[in-house]
Each structure stands twice: as C-alpha cells, then as structure tokens.
Amino acid sequence: MASDSDLSGARQGAQHSLAEQDALSQRQAGCSSDSLRATLAGIGQLKPRQARRMLEWLARHEPGASAPPPTSSPFTSDPVGTVESTGETTDDSSEESTANTEPAGPTSGEGGEILERRDITPELLVLKVARPEDFDYVAGQSVKVEFGGVRRTYSLVSAPHEPFLEFFIELVPGGRMSQQLSQVKEGDRLVLGKARGGLRFDERYPNHLMVATVTGINPFVSILRDYVHKGSQGHHFHVMHGASYQSEHGYREELAAMASAHPDLITYTATVSRPDEAANEGWTGQTGRVNTLVAEYLSSAGLTVDNTLVYACGHSGMIDAVTGEVEKSDFRLKTENYG
Ligand SMILES: Cc1cc2nc3c(=O)[nH]c(=O)nc-3n(C[C@H](O)[C@H](O)[C@H](O)COP(=O)(O)OP(=O)(O)OC[C@H]3O[C@@H](n4cnc5c(N)ncnc54)[C@H](O)[C@@H]3O)c2cc1C
C-alpha cells in the first residue's frame, strides 16, 4: 500500500514532468542555436516517458486501483536520463529535474544493501554494496544510484567477477547527493539502475593511456581487475592518477601492487598538484597536475596514435585539458566527465 506522501510525490512528479515538457517545447521553438535546440529536443523526449511512468504507477497505487503494484520503482525498470551520444561521454544533466520527485522503491531483485562503508578522507568514501542477482555489467561501466530521493551516476570500481559492487565517491560541498551519501551507513539500501555506458577496454590497441583525477580512477581499476583476473596478455596499461593531496589517491596501493606484480602489463604514475602543502609532506612521487604530464609521458613512453588509445576520466577541467593536448596529435580519446 503506497503512503500518502508517495502518492502525493508521484502526482507532483507527473505534473512536474508535463509542465517541463511544455516549457521545453516553448524554449525549443524560440531557440536560434541548432545544437541547443537538439539538446532540448533530446531532453524533451524523456519527459513524456517519465510522466507516463508516474501515471502508470499512480493507476496501480491510488486507493481503489485493481492492478497489482509493480515490484520496482517507476524508474529502476528502465533508467532514464543518461545521454550516451557516442558511448564515450556520459552526461547526467537531464536527471536533475525529476530526481527528487520520483517516489523511491526497492531495488529490483536482491541487492543494493550497503555492506561496508570506508571513509578514505572526510570527502572520499568507498561503499561495498550487495550485488543484485540479475546485475550484469562490463568492466568500466557506470550505474545510476538513488538514495534519499536523489539520483546520480557512479562508476563501478568492482569487476564483473566480484560478488559485490564497489563505488568510490567524492562528496562535493553543497551537493544534493553528497549530502545524502554523507549520512549513509551499513545496512542502508541503494536503489540501483542498470549498468550503462562507461569507459570500456578496447582490445584493438596494444597501449592504453588512462588519465584520472581522484575518483576518475574507478573505471580503470575495474578494467584492470578484470584484465588481470582473466589472465589476459598482450596489452600495456599506462595509468596516470592525479589529485591535490596524496590522501586522495584511492586505490593507489592496489594499483602500485598490480603494477609491481605485472610490470609487463601495468605502469602506474601518481601525482599531486600541491606538493608544497603540509598534507603532502613526505610525498616522493610525481608532482604537477596530471594533464600537464600527459604530453611528456606520451613521448617518453613511445606511445603513438597508431598503437595507443587514451582515456580521461574525472573532473571536467582535466578532461578539457587532456582533450586539447591529445587532439593536437590526433590520438583517439575516450572521456567520462564527472562534472
Ligand atoms: C558517467 C558518470 C560517472 C560518475 N561516476 C562518479 C564516481 O564514480 N564517483 C563520484 O564521486 N562521482 C561520480 N560522478 C559524479 C556524480 O554523478 C555526481 O555528479 C556527484 O556525486 C555530485 O553530485 P551531487 O548531487 O552531490 O552534487 P550536485 O547537487 O549535482 O552539484 C552541486 C555542485 O557541485 C558541483 N559538482 C558536481 N560534481 C562535482 C565534482 N566532482 N567536483 C566538484 N564539484 C562538483 C556542481 O557543479 C554543483 O555546483 C559521475 C558522473 C557521471 C556523469
């Protein structure tokens, strides 16, 4: 039986989606930029689906409804909002409008329960989450997560052979999901969408240059865990991991250990951009923003356009800078922009 507040939330959600659809149509009509018009049209296509799902949910749950209630929330059965134009860049912007208006529901199948919370710093945490039985994914993919009525996309750190799902999350000041996740504790339950998009390993290239800032390392850890687990051979992964402070390099020990165990497969470089600050005392690794090291690395490691695929994942500033750098030489680049 749905609560009054769920029913009220669903009615408001449906009204909100329909009103937004109208507003988007008006904005589209008065728009002179082709690219903005196309973007608005793409977002507009999602709204009728969202409204319809709300209305269907209401039809099942309103007092006197005869249809049986669905087993999952209206959005988990068909996650919406991910724009995957090429599969190489993912944009979360369209999920904002309904994230707080759709009623929360149980994860489809078992799973979603938080098994472990580990705080790396006050702003960085690792969550290990029970994997739903029917949850399939490819290393490097991401998933929409709902908690406390907010929904955001997070990359999976775990690899498909692992029994749990793992996330490495940065809590950003004033962020809506960040506020929710700062409170999360073991035993709480996340609602998980399906795995989507992501930075997938492309075996056609012998060399893979993976550039990350902080949590942008996640898809690369997933890919490397998968590759090593399968006992694959024949590729080399050059992982460059940037952060302001040494405490922010989540998975540094794991990656350094993998590189040490498989020097033929993996080279790991970590860098801090604020080497003179007290928090970086004792740091003996590379210094400087990770994007400023890319050109020199490509050249010194002998990586060429023909034999190397470049990936960049994390903060938008780094991605823009790496894009500018590698585009000068026509390297193929896959990006995932966290914002
Ligand atoms: C494909 C994809 C995968 C992602 N994977 C991860 C992941 O594995 N781990 C992870 O921590 N995040 C990841 N993100 C980012 C995540 O989806 C959220 O955007 C992030 O958690 C902030 O959400 P929020 O609701 O707390 O902030 P919001 O309420 O959405 O934003 C609040 C403010 O914070 C700013 N902001 C948003 N993100 C950042 C940021 N990273 N750094 C600084 N300021 C920011 C916004 O511009 C805004 O001004 C991913 C995003 C995408 C698109």
The average pLDDT across 226-254 equals: 98
Task: Give the number of C-alpha atoms closer than 13 A to the C-alpha of residue 19, restricted to the C-beta side.
Answer: 8
Structure-token pair, residue 211:
């550039």
- The atom number, within ligand 1, closest to the CA of 215 reads 9
**Structural contact between residues 192 and 143, judged by C-beta atoms closer than 8 angstroms:** yes
The average pLDDT across 254-283 equals: 98
Task: Report the distance separating Cα 126 and Cα 313, nearest Å.
Answer: 18
In the reported structure, the alpha carbon of residue 315 is separated from the centroid of ligand 1 by a whole-number distance in angstroms of 9
3-state DSSP assignment of residue 16: helix
In testing the pocket of ligand 1, which one of 170, 217, 318, 334 has its CB within 8 Å of the most ligand atoms?
Answer: 170
In this structure, what are the phi and psi dihedrals at residue 91, rounded to the nearest 5 degrees?
-125, 125
pLDDT score recorded for residue 59 = 52
Higher confidence at residue 118 or residue 83? 118
Residue 12 has pLDDT above 60, yes or no: no
**b (16+ CB within 10 A) / e for 95-124:** bebbbebbbbbebbeebbbbeebeebeebb
pLDDT per residue as tens digits for the range 120-167? 999 999 999 999 999 999 999 999 999 999 999 999 999 999 999 999
CATH 3.10.20.30 fits 81-198, yes or no: no
pLDDT per residue as tens digits for the range 174-184? 999 999 999 99
pLDDT score recorded for residue 92 = 40
CA-nearest residue for atom 42, ligand 1, is 172
Residue 258 has pLDDT above 70, yes or no: yes
DSSP state of 91: B
pLDDT per residue as tens digits for the range 34-89? 444 444 444 444 444 444 444 444 454 455 544 332 223 322 222 222 222 223 33
Residue (of 218, 247, 212, 242) closest to 122 by Cα position: 247
Place of tokens 């489809």: 108
Quick one: pLDDT band at residue 234, thresholds 50, 70, 90? very high
3-state DSSP assignment of residue 295: helix
Ligand 1 pocket check for 153: Cβ under 6 Å: yes
**How many CB atoms are located within 10 Å of the residue 92 CB?**
18
**Structural contact between residues 138 and 196, judged by C-beta atoms closer than 8 angstroms:** no
Quick one: pLDDT band at residue 327, thresholds 50, 70, 90? confident
- Collect all residues with Cβ–Cβ distance below 8 Å to 42 and sequence separation of at least 6: 83, 94
* Percent of the chain clearing pLDDT 70 (strictly above): 68
* Percent of the chain clearing pLDDT 90 (strictly above): 66
Residue 292 has pLDDT above 80, yes or no: yes
In this structure, what are the phi and psi dihedrals at residue 74, rounded to the nearest 5 degrees?
-55, -30
Fold assignment, 207-337: Rossmann fold (3.40.50)
**How many CB atoms are located within 10 Å of the residue 244 CB?**
16
- The atom number, within ligand 1, closest to the CA of 219 reads 8
- How far from chain centre, in Å, is Cα 39? 21
pLDDT score recorded for residue 2 = 55
Beta-sheet strands, E only, within the chain: 114-121, 124-130, 142-147, 150-155, 164-170, 191-196, 207-213, 236-243, 266-272, 286-287, 308-314, 332-337
In the reported structure, the alpha carbon of residue 338 is separated from the centroid of ligand 1 by a whole-number distance in angstroms of 6
